[in-house]
Chains A and B, each alone.
Chain A
Amino acid sequence: MQASPWKVYGTKLDSRLFIGTALYPSPQVMLDAIQASQSQVITISLRRQTSTKLASGDKFWQLIESLGCHLLPNTAGCYSAPEAIKTARLARELFETDWIKLEVLGDSYNLQPDPFALVDATKILIKEGFKVFPYCTDDLVLCQKLADLGCEVLMPWGAPIGTGQGLINPYALETLRKRLPDITLLVDAGIGKPSDAVQAMELGFDGILLNTAVAEALDPAKMADAFAQAINAGRLAYEAGIMPKRDNAKPSTPTLDKPIWQQYV
């Protein structure tokens, strides 16, 4: 059974997995993994090229085009609002999309987003018509401000980028889900294994964005398939309604008219 389709900034999607295009051991492995993931949205970036590297950039682009996915360009590596805004404008021109994964980093050790610069950049980009997908921390007040600015999608981290530590603060993520019921929420960064993704989906998150967990697996295509199944299972469980936890045991088999009643008479 497939979980229900969803919409991201008005675009209908079946897959709830966004996947990155970096860190794969080869272009073919990347293609195989993305196809196995069934993702319909892939992240991509841009850089200044040297003339000798233009040809390789073109080959990469041809591979990306062959996938037929929606593109979500990022502003990776930006440490200020002006840098991120400039990169977003370039990305819109290059990839012909208003979607932007807005990354404004505040710390080079854990690649933590800078919440203040993120808000500053979001304000300007939304005014310019961008559909902003902010990579943010799980801070409720920050997320509320981003939503108030017009972000329909928020992408809080589960853990720092590339660490594979899973959901470090499930309480904060669950709080975001409860307090921002109308916002599309994806966990972006920190997912290490499929059970991390299941946990986020069972909390009611709408999707997952990941890269390293698939690209650095021994068999990226197989891991991509595992994530696709896990994310679907987690979403199905959320839609089905998870039973509440109880402190006391409750038998699942009826206790009346047991065949051994006589010994108690």
Chain B
Amino acid sequence: MSEMNSQQINIVFNGEALVVEKDITVMDLLQLLEVVTHRFVVVINNQIVPKSAYEAIRLELGDHCDIMSPISGG
């Protein structure tokens, strides 16, 4: 595991620890994880993030970020 530098922060992404650049936006994170083309909803700390806010919202230390996607259901 590479060591963190002062320009990085820890977040929790889909339940797992993830190190990302400080001030990373939701849009940056989605591009980093290559999920921009998928149908999904972003939830940060239990709050739904509107698509219009992806470029404005920056992740902070300890944020819990989850991505919800469609699955089959009965």
Contacts and interface: CB of A to CB of B under 8 A. Distances in A.
Interface string A194-227: 0000000000000000011000000000000000
B48 A89 contact: yes
Interface in A10-68: 20-24, 30, 43-51, 53-55, 57-58, 60-61, 64
A90 interface: yes
A73 interface: yes
Nearest to B70: A61
Contacts of B39: 57-58, 61, 94
A54 B68 CA distance: 9
Interface in B44-72: 46, 48, 66-72
B4 interface: no
Nearest to B39: A61
Contacts of B43: 90
B49 to A, nearest CB: 9
B67 A54 contact: yes
A257 interface: no
A122 interface: no
Contact of B40 (A45, A49, A86): A49
A20 B67 CA distance: 23
Given A58-B38, A58-B39, A89-B48, A94 B68 contact: yes
A47 B71 contact: yes
A3 interface: no
Given A93-B41, A94-B40, A43 B70 contact: no
Contacts of B13: 51
A101 B37 CA distance: 27
B73 A58 contact: no
Contact of B73 (A20, A57, A61, A212): A20
A76 interface: yes
Nearest to A23: B74
A21 B73 contact: yes
B37 A58 contact: yes
A95 interface: yes
B35 interface: yes
A49 B72 contact: no
A131 B48 CA distance: 20
A45 B48 contact: no
A45 B15 contact: no
25 contacts: A20-B74, A21-B72, A21-B74, A22-B73, A24-B72, A43-B73, A44-B72, A44-B73, A46-B68, A46-B70, A48-B15, A49-B69, A54-B67, A55-B38, A57-B71, A60-B72, A61-B69, A61-B70, A86-B46, A90-B41, A90-B43, A94-B39, A94-B68, A94-B69, A161-B74
The 6 residue pairs across chains A and B that have the minimum distance between CB atoms = A45-B73, A20-B74, A211-B74, A57-B69, A22-B72, A21-B72
